[in-house]
């Protein structure tokens, strides 16, 4: 159990949360929600003790598992050792034991200390530590051959999974997971969901994955209105309850304001007359009815709508026998397909399976979007009549030129557009007022993603190719993207590990496996039924 009492945190004049008192109970799994900048990561650091609150106290369990955000902190250590470090008492005992055994001569005190250390190691399940760590790593798709490697040899996504295993190791009484699904593929996310459903301690998870929150959490702690309110249920349950409560409060305030207006009218009419006692009673009634000023929500919802300047032909794209080889590994091995207008195809599969590589193959002969450092080994690609592609690459920040303002960068993609149209689109994507004058080099990852969507809204392509577009978006923006893609009448090729996007948007799937690419004509629910 974690107990929070009167905790306050602010930065300058900005209040994140004030006088928060709440309890996170053992056996419950909490989603910690709120828009970007609301203070989710700050609150979690206060819970773990990494950050001191400006006011208030936190009571926490002795053993907590924390997902570390610094991918480079363990580069000098073996992968298996990095996982075991998740149990601090055990790792400290193992290190001290190795140090004592490394002595050329041991004293009686050293011998006694070794006995104590062996007791600690036994109590902390140290004799099965490597096999327990290996099971976690295998579940997170870190193969056995990497367990003895140094962390510095791993790719970024692999490091994240190792750090996730570190947080889960040692049976912690509480788990603190900040964006645990980042860089995980769908199979790893499903494994993590199943693992967490069996966890019986206190879980707090920050995530922008709506399906993950709905599947795992039993309660939702929402940071908004400068406080933290806990709701029963997952993310969707919280949104419904929060909307109902807010609507009721606003309705009650409106009724009170109407009654106050009526009473004030009576007071104004008869204050100088013979009804002084009635006027006095109504003044007291006005004081009693004074409406509470409702705190404003800090949630901002973008509005995304993708239109087409003109439709493409019926046959959007045809490619035959595509081949891409890295060294001796055939990433794409003779894949052939036709894409028709209006199809929404999701590319799904393990990280590194070749999804981004296939998109690069398809764009190699499209003007302005080919990667100059990439070559297609063999095969042919034909774009159909009037095909106009809007591309959102995985490294979207590299496509935004520095030295311009946000408005200038966007305007260059359609110089004929009126400045009011540019401002309107920026406003839709939450670049309000003076933010249009913000320099492009100062943009955060989330702002870069929103600006890239502004470009797609402005240029109105009839084909959208999106490579992991949700990486830097909060839940409100992801939900807006989901709805926009469902309503879009053009063609979509989408790489994502977001379960709800795949489930609610896709009409066709390209599933990347070790045996090649499966071309499934149908939605995700049907694909799951086939592979059940």
> pLDDT digits over 95-146, tens only?
999 898 888 888 888 889 999 999 999 998 899 999 999 999 998 889 999 9
Tens of pLDDT, residues 303-359? 999 999 999 999 999 999 999 998 888 899 999 999 999 999 999 998 888 999 999
DSSP strand pairing (14-24 vs 2-11): antiparallel
The fraction of the chain above a pLDDT of 70, given in percent, is 96
Residue found by looking up tokens 């055939």 in the block: 330
Which of 316, 262, 322 minimizes the C-alpha distance to 289? Answer: 262
pTM of this structure: 0.78
229, pLDDT greater than 70: yes
Residue 163 has pLDDT above 60, yes or no: yes
291, pLDDT greater than 60: no
**Tokens coding 447:** 């702002």
> Per-residue pLDDT for 198 more than 90?
no
Q: What is the pLDDT of residue 275?
A: 66
Residue 273: the pLDDT is: 64
The H or E element that residue 269 is part of is: helix 235-270
pLDDT at position 437 over 60: yes
Q: What is the pLDDT of residue 415?
A: 94
Which CATH code, of 3.40.50.300, 3.40.50.2300, 3.30.750.24, 1.10.3210.10, is assigned to 2-238?
3.40.50.300
Over residues 195-203, the mean pLDDT reads 90
* pLDDT over 80 at 262, yes or no: no
Across the range 431-435, mean pLDDT stands at 87
Which numeric CATH code is attached to 315-531? 3.40.50.300
Share of the chain above pLDDT 90, in %: 57
Give CA–CA dist 27/199, Å, rounded: 8
Calculate the average pLDDT of the chain.
89
Residues 393-410 have pLDDT tens digits of 998 988 999 999 999 999
CA–CA gap between residue 475 and residue 483 (Å, rounded): 12
Burial of 259 (0-12, 13-18, 19+ CB in 10 A): middle
What is the reported pLDDT for 71?
Answer: 74
pLDDT at residue 121, as a whole number: 92
Q: How far apart (Å, rounded) are the C-alpha atoms in residues 47 and 121? A: 27
Q: Say if residue 247's pLDDT is above 80.
A: no
Q: Is the pLDDT of residue 272 over 70?
A: no
Q: What's the pLDDT at 509?
A: 96
Q: Where are the domains of the chain?
A: 2-238, 315-531
Common-topology check for domains 2-238 and 315-531: yes
- The confidence score (pLDDT) of residue 296 equals 63
d(C-alpha 69, C-alpha 180), whole Å: 10
Q: Is the pLDDT of residue 463 over 70?
A: yes
């Amino acid at each position: 159990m974690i107990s929070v009492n009167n905790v306050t945190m602010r930065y300058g004049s900005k209040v994140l949360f004030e006088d928060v008192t709440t309890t996170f109970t053992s056996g419950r799994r909490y989603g910690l929600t709120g828009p970007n900048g609301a203070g989710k990561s700050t609150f979690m650091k206060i819970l773990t003790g990494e950050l001191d609150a400006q006011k208030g106290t936190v009571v926490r369990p002795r053993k907590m598992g924390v997902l570390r955000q610094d991918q480079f902190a363990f580069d000098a250590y073996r992968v298996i050792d990095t996982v075991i470090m998740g149990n601090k008492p055990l790792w400290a005992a193992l290190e001290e034991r190795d140090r004592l055994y490394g002595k050329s001569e041991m004293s009686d005190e050293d011998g006694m200390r070794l006995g104590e250390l062996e007791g600690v190691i036994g109590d902390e399940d140290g004799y099965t530590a490597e096999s327990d760590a290996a099971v976690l790593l295998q579940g997170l798709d870190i193969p056995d051959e990497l367990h003895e490697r140094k962390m510095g040899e791993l790719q970024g996504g692999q490091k994240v999974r190792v750090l996730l295993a570190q947080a889960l190791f040692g049976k912690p009484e509480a788990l603190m997971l900040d964006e645990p699904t980042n860089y995980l593929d769908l199979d790893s996310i499903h494994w993590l969901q199943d693992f967490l459903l069996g966890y019986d301690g206190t879980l707090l998870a920050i995530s922008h994955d709506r399906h993950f929150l709905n599947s795992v959490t039993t309660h939702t702690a929402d940071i908004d209105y400068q406080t933290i309110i806990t709701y029963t249920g997952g993310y969707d349950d919280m949104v419904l309850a929060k909307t109902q409560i807010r609507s009721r409060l606003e309705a009650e305030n409106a009724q009170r304001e109407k009654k106050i207006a009526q009473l004030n009218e009576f007071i104004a009419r008869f204050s100088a007359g013979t009804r002084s006692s009635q006027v006095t009673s109504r003044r007291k009634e006005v004081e009693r009815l004074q409406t509470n000023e409702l705190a404003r929500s800090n949630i901002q919802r973008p509005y995304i709508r993708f239109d087409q300047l003109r439709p493409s032909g019926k046959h959007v794209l045809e490619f035959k026998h595509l081949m891409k080889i890295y060294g001796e590994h055939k990433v794409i091995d003779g894949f052939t397909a036709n894409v028709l207008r209006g199809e929404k195809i999701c590319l799904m599969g393990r990280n590194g399976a070749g999804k981004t590589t296939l998109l690069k193959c398809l764009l190699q002969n499209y003007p302005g979007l080919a990667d100059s450092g990439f070559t297609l080994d063999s095969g042919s690609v034909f774009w159909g009549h009037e095909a106009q592609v809007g591309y959102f690459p995985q490294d979207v920040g590299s496509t935004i030129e520095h030295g311009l303002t946000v408005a200038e960068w966007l305007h260059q993609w359609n110089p004929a557009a009126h400045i009011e149209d540019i401002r309107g689109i920026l406003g839709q994507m939450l670049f309000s007022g003076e933010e249009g004058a913000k320099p492009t080099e100062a943009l955060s990852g989330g702002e870069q993603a929103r600006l890239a969507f502004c470009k797609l809204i402005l240029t109105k392509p009839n084909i959208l190719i999106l490579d992991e577009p949700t990486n830097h978006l909060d839940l409100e923006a992801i939900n807006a993207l989901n709805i926009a893609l469902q309503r879009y009448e053009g063609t979509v090729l989408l790489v994502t590990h977001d379960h709800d996007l795949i489930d609610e948007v896709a009409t066709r799937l390209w599933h990347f496996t070790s045996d090649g690419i499966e071309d499934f004509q149908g939605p995700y629910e049907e694909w799951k039924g086939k592979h059940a």
